Amino acid sequence: MAPAAPKSGDAIFASVDRVNAELFTLTYGAIVRQLLTDLEEVDEVNKQLDQMGYNIGVRLVDEFLAKSNVSRCVDFRETAEVIAKVGFKMFLGVTASVTNWDTEGTTCSLIMEDNPLVDFVELPDTCQGLHYCNILSGVVRGALEMVSMKTEVTWLRDMLKGDDVFELQVKLLKQIPEEYPYKDDE
Amino acid sequence: MQFFGGSEISPSPPAPAASGNNAHMLYIFNRNGVCLLYREWNRPLKTLSSQQDHKLMFGLLFSLKSLTAKMDPTSVEKGNLGVPQLPGQGCSFHSFRTNTYKLSFMETPSGIKIILVTHPRTSDLRDSLKYIYNLYVEYVVKNPLYSPGTPIRYELFNKAVDQYVRGLG
Amino acid sequence: MGFRESHFPSGLEVHKRNSPCPTFTIHIEIALWETLSKGKQKVSLSAFAFLFSELVQYNQTQVDNIAELERRLEDAGYAVGARVLELLCHREKGNRRETRLLGILSFIHSTVWKVLFGKVADSLEKGTEHEDEYMNSEKELLVNRFISIPKDMGAFNCGAFVAGIVKGVLDNAGFPAVVTAHFVPVDGQQRPRTTILIKFVEEVLLREARLG
């Protein structure tokens, strides 16, 4: 039995249940609003959004793997392409492109021109420090950690701050093999 | 079967051959060795506490994976014995059979391990394990009340798994 | 900033104490709004389910009982409802707002539901015992679709979020009401349906009576 071939992002997105992006966008807006009210400090909100994204990534990776037939994520380059082309498409309905590889092949950028999180959003002056889409960087970090890749994910460009695209830098810190979780004398 | 999870669960369940009760036990572990789910249908002999039992099963798979990879005649990247590989790296086994049972095993790149122990004459169960993985995604992972890494205690999921596994030929 | 509208979704600006509060007035033309608002754009249901999970999980850390958790979900929903009303008033109704009770109820049952959940609600009924109560029911409400409630959480209903949305729409359209979500068992079905119970405040009913 040959393993089933990985599916394309378009094919998966066409086959899954979808909802109007507005429900998603407005719900996300409500979450950010709730955090601003609860936490007050913009830095704290950034942190919490990142944490929420991480939690989502930890879960979402299994749906991604189950639906995409991707059976291995060992090579970082390959994995980054799959995230941008299949992962983004399958969940958000948009794709990202992968560029700006460094020579070691451990750092790259995901570029997004279309981002359903930010429709209708403009940052007021008091929120300039807010990384409105920080949930997304958390998702990428969480999902990669589940496939053994410890990464650092940073926003380099943000359309809400006047840039022409969203640019998310993903830096591979290390790949962590599975460890035997029990001690011998347990 | 009614799926409130909505999206199609793929692959669609492989048609069970003859209905029978061939399954003994099912385990689902996460990447940290936490047993998320243990179900048993037919296990007349028990000699260990459940904690020891889960630990032993996880240890068996862990060692076997390392050994099978080490003995792979087709690959140069074998690592050192006892030094674990990344999930999905190198070769991986999917079942073994003894004279009294068959153990089928699936591991995802995210380190979720699904183990089904059945009658030794059961056919290839890889699609079935994949199907169980999809049930896990739809019923557990997407449940807003589920905290990842904790044992699963949802009736609907257990029922769906029971129903499916009981139907396996 | 191109054609972006000048405020946050979901009433984000409510919180900003020190900044001049951006108003809810939308200065763009309707035709332009149509293209901007991308009413047809979709994301996967799972993306929403995961986001909603986080909303629930985060709020669980902020409360110590189920009632409080439901109240916070309702608050989050309220912000969504307020924005949905604005969006739809401009896009679907040419800025016209409903003034009559049945009008606003059917607006929620059909238009709002379609935009948010892709279908009209399964039923809209008037309460038989109380004149001021209406029930909008759904066999399988989107937010309850993935849920399986452990025994220790008793009657917890994620539908509180949707109740909040409905309240947000009603309040901002000038029909203040108390809105709650309930599970209602259905004969022959394993899973209960969700009923959003709308109880209007007295002045709404008096006004309606005056309008005849």
Residue A110 sits in a domain of what CATH number?
3.30.1380.20
C-alpha dihedral sign at C68, C73, C76, C77: negative
Least trusted range by pLDDT, from B62-71, C2-11, C13-22 = C13-22
Report the mean per-residue pLDDT for chain B.
Answer: 83
CATH code at position B91: 3.30.450.70
CATH code at position C202: 3.30.1380.20
What is the tally of structural domains in chain C? 1
B16 within domain boundaries: no
- pLDDT of A114 higher than 60: yes
Q: Indicate the residue of B8, B86, B130 with minimum beta-carbon distance to A175.
A: B86
User: Could you give the percent of chain C with pLDDT greater than 90?
Assistant: 60
Is B144 in CB contact (< 8 Å) with chain C? yes
User: A82 or A72: whose pLDDT is higher?
Assistant: A82
User: B132 or B87: whose pLDDT is higher?
Assistant: B132
Amino acid at B38: Y
pLDDT in tens, B38-48: 999 888 888 88
What is the tally of structural domains in chain B? 1
Interchain CB distance below 8 Å, C62 and A56: no
Using alpha carbons, select from B32, C165, B55, B52 the residue that is nearest to residue A30: C165
User: Could you give the percent of chain B with pLDDT greater than 90?
Assistant: 47
A48 within domain boundaries: yes
C61, C119, C141, C146, best to mutate vs chain B, most B CBs in 10 Å = C146
Q: Which residues pair with C200 in a beta bridge?
A: C177
pLDDT in tens, C121-144: 999 999 888 889 999 999 999 998
A7 within domain boundaries: no
- pLDDT of B112 higher than 60: yes
User: Could you give the percent of chain A with pLDDT greater than 90?
Assistant: 75
pLDDT value of residue C66: 92
> A76 lies in which domain range?
19-175
pLDDT in tens, B60-110: 998 888 888 888 888 776 666 666 667 666 678 899 999 999 999 999 999
Interchain CB distance below 8 Å, A92 and C83: no
Q: Which residues pair with B38 in a beta bridge?
A: B27
Backbone angles phi, psi at B57, to 5 degrees: -65, -45
> C15 lies in which domain range?
9-211
C2 within domain boundaries: no
Interchain CB distance below 8 Å, A178 and B87: yes
The helix or strand, by DSSP H or E, that contains position C184, with its residue range, turns out to be strand C177-184
B9 within domain boundaries: no
Maximum Cα interatomic distance, chain A, rounded to a whole number of Å: 59
Other C-beta atoms closer than 10 Å to the C-beta of A140 total 23
Query: Taking residues C186-210, what's their average pLDDT?
Result: 92
B91 within domain boundaries: yes
pTM equals 0.86
C3 within domain boundaries: no
What is the tally of structural domains in chain A? 1
B127 within domain boundaries: yes
Chains touching chain A at 3 or more Cβ pairs under 8 angstroms? B, C
Report the mean per-residue pLDDT for chain A.
Answer: 91
> B132 lies in which domain range?
23-71+85-166
pLDDT value of residue B79: 62
A142: closest chain B residue by CA: B110
Q: Indicate the residue of B5, B142, B153 with minimum beta-carbon distance to C150.
A: B153
Query: Taking residues A11-32, what's their average pLDDT?
Result: 93
pLDDT value of residue B68: 85
Pair A175, A149: CB distance under 8 Å: yes
pLDDT value of residue C24: 32
Residues of B with CB under 8 A from a CB of A: 6-8, 10-11, 31-34, 55, 58-59, 62, 83-89, 108-112, 124, 126, 130, 133-134, 136-137, 141-142, 148
Interchain CB distance below 8 Å, B143 and C191: no
Pair A151, A140: CB distance under 8 Å: yes
pLDDT value of residue A109: 97
Residue C25's pLDDT band (cuts 50, 70, 90): very low
A183 within domain boundaries: no
C152 within domain boundaries: yes
pLDDT value of residue A119: 81
The helix or strand, by DSSP H or E, that contains position A9, with its residue range, turns out to be helix A9-15
Interchain CB distance below 8 Å, C48 and A19: yes
Interchain CB distance below 8 Å, B110 and A146: yes
